[in-house]
Amino acid sequence: MTGSLSPATFLLPALTLVVGGARSGKSAFAERLVTASARPRRYIATAEAWDDEMRDRIARHRRERGADWLTVEAPLDLAAALAAAQPDEAVLVDCATLWLSNQLLADHDLAAESADLCAALGGCAAPVVIVSNEVGWGIVPDNALSRRFRDAQGRLNQRLAAEADLVVTVIAGLPLVLKGSTGALP
């Protein structure tokens, strides 16, 4: 289901979830979806640069996206970032996993924050593509904090998938539609 479409041929639904493992190609695929919508692009980044490697990674991603994306950094307050989106834009949130990790490290109520995120996604004036990691296919973590995060991430992914019009998993760079109808994907 890969292919090359002209920029105006893909109509984004109100909410799209792109989920996959680490380095699966999910972010690149999500960027292609947003670009194919031919709308002005808003990128909401949830990563924080805690070390040199992460600073380099963030800078590289920005360069690769190019200057035609409006980048908004929202490591914790995704609701405000989503509320600022304009109806003519397409929004990419990358990613729910880092956002949830930030919430956990800030000792926030993960269930309440996840509910607030879902409400903000539902109220966003623009179509949203949200990227998330599938973290449940690995071994059971050996400590309580990791298990708490894995469980919260699984619950958040299930909730996002239930509310999304389109759910796509990406494995080895290849998209597989799990929910919704797309015609042809970019």
Active site (catalytic) residues: 61
- Tokens standing for residue 132: 């998330």
Give the separation between CA 41 and CA 48, rounded to whole angstroms: 21
Return the CA Rg of the chain: 16
H, E, C per residue of 151-181: HHHHHHHHHHHHHCCEEEEEECCEEEEEECC
H, E, C per residue of 69-104: EEEEECCCCHHHHHHCCCCCCEEEEECHHHHHHHHH
| Residue with token string 């989503």 | 82
Pairing of strands 174-179, 166-171: antiparallel
| Residue with token string 């929004």 | 91
Give the separation between CA 168 and CA 32, rounded to whole angstroms: 13
